[in-house]
A and B are shown apart, each in its own frame.
Chain A
């Protein structure tokens, strides 16, 4: 029995030494949607997805994933329920081959079945276009390829919810376009929660978006609605 909302939060709050990084965030995400999280620097976007994935413990509030309360689960348990997470700052196993990086992501699910692991790894590498680099050390890849590898490690887990923290940061234009194509291809396969600064990407790929400002939800809607929203414009222009 799958819940309609893959993800839901209520009153999610994170306080660092008296300052609220997130305050009372209520959030829902429908299964299958591509949702972008935008907001100025320091709006609390990374903190928010950190609390969803379990990297950052919430000060208070609750998180439901696929209808189940996961607030008290440690990160690795949430991941094994079907959340994949890519880091804002590239984090791969630099001294291991590209293939092994992806295999580590697959193996947690497929375990000892060497053939199945290999097939899945090959499939994922093919899909993101890293087949040629499969035997290089991840640390020797270009920055753009490392970001792609991060995405491959997420895909390899067949996630129900795929959290991407600024995936296009520092990418060149053709790489950004390849990324957008990949996200569009994933539509229907998984739910995507995307933190993104590049407005072209946001407007083109997302079904809906949420704007965070000062740790609180400022607005939520379709790209068109958000584009027309005066509050959002004020927050981005710094006028409010």
Chain B
């Protein structure tokens, strides 16, 4: 069997397993899993930039927040329905990541991390500044009646679960496809040796910019989906910890792997949940990962057992 068909089977099996999960898991855990899938989309978006292109951003909460508030404000203040709301979220994230990418990519390494951190901080403060509309830290709630797409009530637990699953599957297959295209391979080449990739004739700046925009827009999709499915937008989702979370998820699950982001999100979500929301756990995991397993769970599995792992 070729590696490509193995990869397709793996991804499909994962989606099937998630479908089964809804029917076998207790309600509480199924609810958690819906949330995890939405955050895994965020992590997959982050992974495209960090894991595949090798660019460590500390400001992805800006893109998550752009999607969240793009959809949230369009529905809350603009009164549009869910469909155009999602579009508004995606466009907001796309524009914001385009601008941030254009500016931040003039730097590299540590400067890139700090620039993205600063932009995200400015974004978070902007949400607070316009508290009249965003209601700042307290946030706002989308009325249940508006949270429907094509007549399907997305506030219903089952509909919500499968909506999250469909989005998750789309992004998973998209990224699985993207990283095997010449474009995706070039991103990996940039991660491994930027100067060599440039001297093979690749337009590095353009590739990186597209990577930032794709990564930012997928993160924005996650933010918009969260707002729509769980019905609220709060400034906290645009703050620094939400820039750290996807880094944590991806590092734990395995950077540069297609299913690592989901695995990392799953583990981290339950770890933080189990510790009663204490970020100490996140801290310990981060230090431990940096020290002992810089390639994460799936990176280790790939290295030791399954070399074809995507």
Residues of chain A having any CB pair with chain B under 8 Å: 53, 55, 74-77, 79-80, 85, 87, 91-96, 100, 103-105, 107-108, 111-112, 153, 157
| Among candidates A53, A74, A75, A107, residue contacting B182 with C-beta atoms closer than 8 Å | A107
Q: How many A-B residue pairs have CB under 8 A?
A: 58
Task: Judge whether B200 and A153 touch: CB under 8 Å.
Answer: yes
In the bound assembly, the distance between CA atoms of A80 and B197 in angstroms comes to 12
How distant is A81 from chain B, measured CB to nearest CB, in Å? 9
How distant is A131 from chain B, measured CB to nearest CB, in Å? 20
| Among candidates A76, A91, A92, residue contacting B201 with C-beta atoms closer than 8 Å | A76
The yes or no answer to B195 lying at the interface (CB within 8 A) is: yes
| Among candidates B186, B192, B196, residue contacting A95 with C-beta atoms closer than 8 Å | B192
Residues of B within 8 A of A75 (CB): 198-199
Interface string of B177-203 (1 = CB under 8 A from A): 000011001101100110111111111
Residues of chain B having any CB pair with chain A under 8 Å: 181-182, 185-186, 188-189, 192-193, 195-204
Contacts A104-B185, A107-B182 given; indicate if A96 touches B201 (C-beta within 8 A): no
Contacts A76-B204, A93-B192, A94-B192 given; indicate if A87 touches B185 (C-beta within 8 A): no
Task: Judge whether A112 and B181 touch: CB under 8 Å.
Answer: yes
In the bound assembly, the distance between CA atoms of A203 and B181 in angstroms comes to 44
Nearest-CB residue, chain A, relative to B199: A85
How distant is A59 from chain B, measured CB to nearest CB, in Å? 21
Contacts A100-B185, A104-B185, A107-B185 given; indicate if A91 touches B196 (C-beta within 8 A): yes
In the bound assembly, the distance between CA atoms of A53 and B195 in angstroms comes to 12
Contacts A104-B186, A112-B181 given; indicate if A93 touches B202 (C-beta within 8 A): no
Contacts A93-B189, A96-B192 given; indicate if A104 touches B181 (C-beta within 8 A): no
Task: Choose among B195, B199, B203 the residue with the greatest number of A CB atoms under 10 Å from its CB.
Answer: B199
Task: Judge whether B193 and A103 touch: CB under 8 Å.
Answer: no
Task: Judge whether B200 and A108 touch: CB under 8 Å.
Answer: yes
Task: Judge whether A79 and B185 touch: CB under 8 Å.
Answer: no
Main secondary structure of the interface of B (DSSP, over half): helix
| Among candidates B181, B193, B198, residue contacting A76 with C-beta atoms closer than 8 Å | B198
Task: Judge whether B202 and A76 touch: CB under 8 Å.
Answer: yes
| Among candidates A77, A79, A80, A91, residue contacting B195 with C-beta atoms closer than 8 Å | A91
In the bound assembly, the distance between CA atoms of A95 and B197 in angstroms comes to 14
In the bound assembly, the distance between CA atoms of A77 and B181 in angstroms comes to 21
Residues of A within 8 A of B197 (CB): 104
Q: List 29 A-B contacts (CB under 8 A).
A: A55-B199, A76-B198, A76-B201, A76-B203, A76-B204, A77-B203, A79-B199, A79-B200, A79-B201, A80-B201, A85-B199, A87-B195, A87-B196, A91-B193, A91-B195, A91-B196, A92-B193, A93-B189, A93-B192, A94-B192, A95-B192, A100-B185, A104-B185, A104-B197, A107-B186, A108-B182, A108-B201, A108-B202, A111-B182
Residues of B within 8 A of A104 (CB): 185-186, 189, 197, 200
Residues of A within 8 A of B192 (CB): 93-96
In the bound assembly, the distance between CA atoms of A100 and B191 in angstroms comes to 14
If A55-B199, A93-B192 are given as contacts, then 5 extra A-B residue pairs at C-beta distance below 8 Å, sorted by A number, are A76-B198, A91-B193, A91-B195, A94-B192, A157-B200
Task: Choose among A74, A91, A108 the residue with the greatest number of B CB atoms under 10 Å from its CB.
Answer: A108
In the bound assembly, the distance between CA atoms of A77 and B203 in angstroms comes to 8
Task: Judge whether B196 and A93 touch: CB under 8 Å.
Answer: yes
Residues of B within 8 A of A112 (CB): 181-182
In the bound assembly, the distance between CA atoms of A127 and B235 in angstroms comes to 60
How distant is B3 from chain A, measured CB to nearest CB, in Å? 12
How distant is B33 from chain A, measured CB to nearest CB, in Å? 34
Residues of B within 8 A of A80 (CB): 201
Nearest-CB residue, chain A, relative to B180: A114
Interchain residue pairs A-B with the least CB separation, the first 10? A79-B201, A80-B201, A93-B192, A107-B182, A91-B196, A76-B203, A85-B199, A108-B201, A104-B189, A105-B200
In the bound assembly, the distance between CA atoms of A100 and B192 in angstroms comes to 12
Residues of B within 8 A of A92 (CB): 193, 196
